[in-house]
Amino acid sequence: MTTTDDQQSLKDEIADLEKRLHDAKSRLNPSLEPSTLVKDEALHALLLLSDSALPLGSFAFSSGLESYLAHHKPSPPSASQLPSFHTFLRLSLSTLASTALPYVLTGHRHPEDVETLDNDFDASTPCTVARRASIAQGRALLAVWDRSYKAQYTDSTSAATASLTAFSKALRTSDTLNAHLAPLWGLVTRVLCVPLHEAAYLFLFSHARTVVSAAVRASVMGPYQAQAVLSSAELKERIRGLVGEGWDVRVEDAGQSVPVMDLWVGRHEKLYSRIFNS
């Protein structure tokens, strides 16, 4: 029969063996365990970009929600517009994932191609209202980089940093560059050391947050309902699924998955009264 001392001795031996095994694995492949410093740097940048106070001007855009609600009046008029909102949010995320997400992913993977990606995205965006909103937010992101982040991320040896600096400089004198949000989001997150999956997830989540914020200001829902939507398991699964679906999609295969969305966004300028720019 094993005594208490024997049992403790065995536990100590097991603990020692596990520690030695862990140390051996760390020496065999140290890349499996990134340093805490790198993790913290990525987390810090992720928190910066996820802040709703980030001055991208997204509060001025509803991404077509205002036009959609104007063209889908509830019956009777006193009925809630929440069902229409949830439909729009689902379709809007699908549109963004199929048209813009491939440019985010490629911009992160190939920072040297940012000018080509910017030009291609501009050519593949036929809706004038959507194009204008993308450029406004892209230029705002670039301004945040120049005025706020650039001094803190000055790794001149990084190809991504060099590409971003060159693009920002060329934009001041070029008549052909546009500075669309999607490719610049991929490039900026690469410079800020944000992992690709997190960058893609945050891109879609930020869009959802913008649409939900617009719904609050349009009196579709209240602030508590808005937080319930953003924290819902349905939204998390939706974004996670869209990132997975678009992970290997090339920019050449990007395209509008909800064609009527361009009509809703484009009709925004025809509204008799409006509180958003898109």
The candidate with the shortest Cα–Cα distance to 204, out of 223, 180, 230, is 230
**Which three-class secondary structure state does DSSP give residue 209?**
helix
Mean pLDDT of 248-271: 80
The pLDDT assigned to 184 comes to: 96
**Across all residues in the chain, what is the average pLDDT?**
83
When pLDDT is averaged across residues 168-192 and rounded to a whole number, the result is 92
Sequence spans of domains, the chain: 62-70+79-260
Region at 225 (left for phi over 0; alpha for psi -120 to 50; beta for the rest): alpha
Interval 73-91: pLDDT, tens = 766 666 777 888 899 899 9
Residue 143, Cβ density class (10 Å: 0-12 exposed, 13-18 middle, ≥19 buried): middle
Mean pLDDT on 125-147: 89
Q: What is the mean pLDDT of residues 173-184?
A: 91
Q: What is the pLDDT of residue 272?
A: 59
pTM: 0.81
Task: Give the up-direction half-sphere exposure of residue 36: CA atoms within 13 A in the CB hemisphere.
Answer: 0
Answer yes or no: are the C-beta atoms of 26 and 18 closer than 8 Å.
no
Q: What is the pLDDT of residue 77?
A: 67
CATH T-level assignment (fold) for domain 62-70+79-260: Urease accessory protein UreF (1.10.4190)
* Residue 267 pLDDT exceeds 70: no
- Read off the pLDDT of each residue in 190-217 and give the average, rounded to a whole number: 92
CA dist., res. 214 & res. 123, Å (int): 28
142 pLDDT above the threshold of 70: yes
Predicted local distance difference test score (pLDDT) of residue 32: 45
Is residue 45 within 8 Å of residue 193, measured between CB atoms?
Answer: yes
Distance CA 200, CA 205 (A): 9
| Tokens 């194009």, located at residue | 131
pLDDT bracket for residue 156 (50, 70, 90)? low
Higher-scoring residue by pLDDT: 63, 208: 208
Pick 16 or 251 by higher pLDDT: 251
How far, in Å, CA of 157 to CA of 6, rounded?
57
What pLDDT is attached to residue 208? 93
Q: Is the pLDDT of residue 20 over 80?
A: no
Copy the structure tokens of residue 220: 């579709």
* Band of residue 105 on the pLDDT scale cut at 50, 70, 90: very high
Using the predicted structure, report yes or no on whether residue 276 has a pLDDT greater than 50. Answer: yes
DSSP 11-71: HHHHHHHHHHHHHHHHHH-GGGS--HHHHHHHHHHHHHHH-TTSSS-GGG--TTHHHHHHT
